[in-house]
Every structure is written in C-alpha cells, then in structure tokens.
Amino acid sequence: MSHRGSRVLRLDALARVEGEAALHLAVRDGTVSEARLRIYEPPRFFEAFLVGRGHGEPPDITSRICGICPVAYQTTACQAIERACGVTVDGPLTQLRRLLYYGEWIESQTLHIHLLHAPDFLGHPSAVELAREHRAAVERGLRIKQAGNTIMEQLGGRAIHPINVRVGGFYHVPAPAELIPLAERLRRAHDDALETVRWVAGFDFPEARYDGPFLAMRDPGRYAIDSGTPAVMAAGAGSNGATPVRALPVEEFERHVVERQVPHSTALVSELDGHHYLTGSLARYAVSGRWLHPSALDAARAAGLGDPTTGTVCRNPFRSIIVRAVEVAHAVAEALRIIDAYEPPSRPHVAVPPRPATGCAATEAPRGLLYHRYAMDADGTLTLARIVPPTAQNQAAIEDDLRRQVQSRLDGPGEPPGDEELTALCERAVRNHDPCISCSAHFLDLTVERG
C-alpha cells in the first residue's frame, strides 16, 4: 500500500516501557491532525479503596501502585498524613527517608537507562541483544541497580514494596555499622554512575525541543527529591541564560493543576493553568540543576548538557537519558554523604495522632512530581484520597511531542516515512519520557490514519 494513501499501522506489543496503551495518529494531507496516547488499562481505584481506611495505612497500600517506584508513593503518603496531623518528621529520620528514596532513584533510573532506553540509541530491540555488543555497559548498569536495590532492602525490608516504612518514620532503623557494607557498594557504584554519564553522552541524539512549561519541586540549596515547593518554569525559559521559576504552594496545587477525563484514556489528563506541561528529569534539571552534587554537576557539564548554574536548560527529550544518568550519579553521591554523616535517631518513628484535618504533599518520583491529598476524621479514618501521578500529568505533553516529531519527519527531505520508520520514531518519542502507564511490560498498539 502506498505510504501516501490511507493506511493502518499496528504494533501490538512493545517491551521496554511500563504498562499497556495504544497510540492513534491521524495524518491528513501531510499534516498530523491528531495524536492520542490511549491508555486502556482498567482503572485500579486506589483512591476509592483508601477511603474508610486508617490514617496509618496509605504507605502500605499506595506502594502497591508501582513495583518500580513504591517509595515515592510511600514517602508522599507519609508526608501528606503527617501534615494533616500537624506532625513534623526531621533529623536523622528525614535523612533515612531521603536515603531510601535515593535507593529508588538509583534502581529505577538505572533500569530505564540500560534496559529500556539505551537500546533505542544503539540499534537493538532489547537489552538482551544490547548486552551481546555492549556487555560491559549492561553489567555496569546492573551493578548500579543492585546498589539501589540494596539500599531499599537495608532500609525498607525488601527491594519491592518495602515493609519498613510507616507514618512517622520507620519500624526499625539501622545501626551505623549496618550501613558500612552499603557504603562500600555505593563507592563502587559512584564510579560506575559517572562512567554511565560518559557512555550515554556519546549517543547520537536527534534534534528535538520541548518548549512548554516545566513543573518540579524546588528546595533552594538542594536538588529536590522529598522536600521543597512545586515550582513552574515558564514555556521557553532557559534558552537565554534566564531561568525564572514561579512557586506553586502545594496547598494550591489543585487550583493550578486540573485533571480532566478524555474518551481515549483511562488515565486522567492534567493541565497546568490550562496548558500541557512536563514533569520529570528534564523539569528537575531545569529547576534545580544548579544544586546537583558537585561530581554530578561536573559530569553534566562534560556530557554537553551545559552549565545549569548559569541558567542553561536542556529541552531535548532525547537527551533525557543523559539527565537521568546525571541524576543517578547525584543520588549515589548524596546517599554516600548521608551514610557518612549518619547518627541513629533516638527512636524509629514519631507519634502521629489523628485529628480531623486535610493534608497534602508532593515529592519527586523518578518520573516526576507526585501529589497526594488525604482528609480524615477525628479517629483517623480517611474520608478522601487524591493521587496525581507523574505519567498522567505528562500525557498531554507526550502527545504534543509525538505530534511535533512526526510532523517534523513528514516535512523533512526524502520519501515519506514507511511503517517501520514511523513506528520506531513514535516508540522512541514515548520512551524518552519513561512513562509508567500502569507499571509494567508492554505498551503500544499504533494506528496511523493517512488521507
């Protein structure tokens, strides 16, 4: 069938992203008229069955939302409940929470870089084929990931769906001697992480640019992960050395970020003040890049990302793999800093007595800003639960990115793209954003209408 005529292109299963969805792309007279990321997995109703539960239960329940980033859900849930109850968790308990979160960043970002994303740049259909040609790189990635898993096992009780996290802190905290083997593993992982930055910096990156707003946590002096305030970088900002950001207090999050239902997706689509936006690694680097650990900041400069201390922003989604590698180097270095300074808290958790109140919180999951809000009555029974995950927030921006990238290829020189080329382009464009659609294995059924 002619590539210039009407046609339907399908790809029924794609490994290397998490969850299940389809992409519908309509092309009319050489123009992309529609790009829909159709997430069709059944709704999981976590918010609904949290209602009626006790105020200490959200960390365990919400961790089941994702097997790759359960700590993000646990941490955000804990902070929202604690704020509702007027309790502050600080000192060594805060540092241990951050260390656990870094473990998740390390394992999740490393998994994406080496097993899901790198094959796109090196011409391989999977990490298995990649390992045949780049065995050392894949083994290096597995070592880094194991270091992150070890943090989660040490502090969380297990690497998947940790069981040691509770509202107010932990059930058990480690003695300093228990962290010594972990520090030794992380020192080796730091060298591996810096080598990974150098490795991915050598990939061939297509030209692309996202010019919409960024949304990420901001905590001046720190590359924010579990603290700070949501902040917005305006569309197009950063290209001239200026990086203005606007604080968006977490209590006002739902006034600015509005979710709406669309017919083609079981995920709600978010808009920020009426516009699509992007959260995740590119947004974090834009908003907080100047506060990276010095070793990670040096690696970012050497990798060609520019100098975020002068306001340089990376807006090429294909280069997000470099940013993620830099974030892994940062997380490893910061995890070592926390371990080196660790002094056990006087108790593993603080009391969080219930009261009739509402609390909200946001943190940085590996894929972007995650928001929780809970309301409870006097005995701590939850009467409301609201969760806004990163991929739902990014859905509209991903669709816009697909539309622009396909249009750019259609307008380019040479013959119109064939089925295989167009499918590969769409797959790569989606994987740039590391979507966690439901959190697992296959993703794309691509339908292209041409007329």
How far apart CA 51 and CA 254 sit, in angstroms, is 19
Q: What is the pLDDT of residue 184?
A: 96
3-state DSSP assignment of residue 365: strand
Average pLDDT value for the chain: 89
Res. 201: pLDDT tops 60: yes
Does 427 or 92 have the greater pLDDT score? 92
How far apart CA 277 and CA 234 sit, in angstroms, is 10
How far apart CA 245 and CA 216 sit, in angstroms, is 10
Residues 6+ apart with CB under 8 A from 22: 37, 38, 40, 444, 445, 446, 447
Res. 267: pLDDT tops 50: yes
Per the CB < 8 A criterion, the answer to whether 354 and 55 are in contact is: yes
Element (H, E) at 153: helix 135-156
Element (H, E) at 434: none
Return the C-alpha torsion angle 366, 156, 387, 254, nearest 10.
-70
Two structure tokens written together for 101: 């979160």
Res. 64: pLDDT tops 50: yes
Give the Cβ contact number of residue 314 at 10 Å: 24
Residue with tokens 């292109």: 9
pLDDT digits (tens, 9 = 90+) for 206-262: 999 999 999 999 999 999 999 999 999 998 776 544 567 999 999 999 999 998 888
How far apart CA 278 and CA 186 sit, in angstroms, is 31
Per the CB < 8 A criterion, the answer to whether 275 and 210 are in contact is: no
How far apart CA 187 and CA 370 sit, in angstroms, is 29
Element (H, E) at 270: strand 269-272
Res. 381: pLDDT tops 60: yes
Which of 10-24, 173-187, 399-413 shows the highest mean pLDDT? 173-187
Q: Which DSSP category does 219 fall into?
A: B
Enumerate the β-bridge partners of residue 152. none
Two structure tokens written together for 313: 């922003």
Q: What is the pLDDT of residue 388?
A: 92
How far apart CA 426 and CA 23 sit, in angstroms, is 9
313 to 5, 214, 296, 443: CA distances (angstroms): 40, 11, 16, 30
Does 66 or 276 have the greater pLDDT score? 276
Q: Which DSSP category does 18 fall into?
A: B
3-state DSSP assignment of residue 383: strand
Res. 315: pLDDT tops 90: yes
Strand residue runs (E) in 30-166: 31-39, 165-166
How far apart CA 345 and CA 267 sit, in angstroms, is 40
Percent of the chain scoring above 70 in pLDDT: 90
3-state DSSP assignment of residue 376: strand
Does 64 or 442 have the greater pLDDT score? 64
Q: What is the pLDDT of residue 450?
A: 66
Q: What is the pLDDT of residue 345?
A: 96
Q: What is the pLDDT of residue 221?
A: 96
How far apart CA 181 and CA 153 sit, in angstroms, is 13
First to last CA, the chain: 13
Written as one string, the DSSP assignment of 245-284 is EEE--GGGHHHHEEEE--TT-SSPEEEETTB--B-SHHHH
Per the CB < 8 A criterion, the answer to whether 122 and 133 are in contact is: yes
Q: What is the pLDDT of residue 2?
A: 35
Element (H, E) at 156: helix 135-156
Q: How many residues does the chain have?
A: 451
Mean pLDDT of 264-278: 87
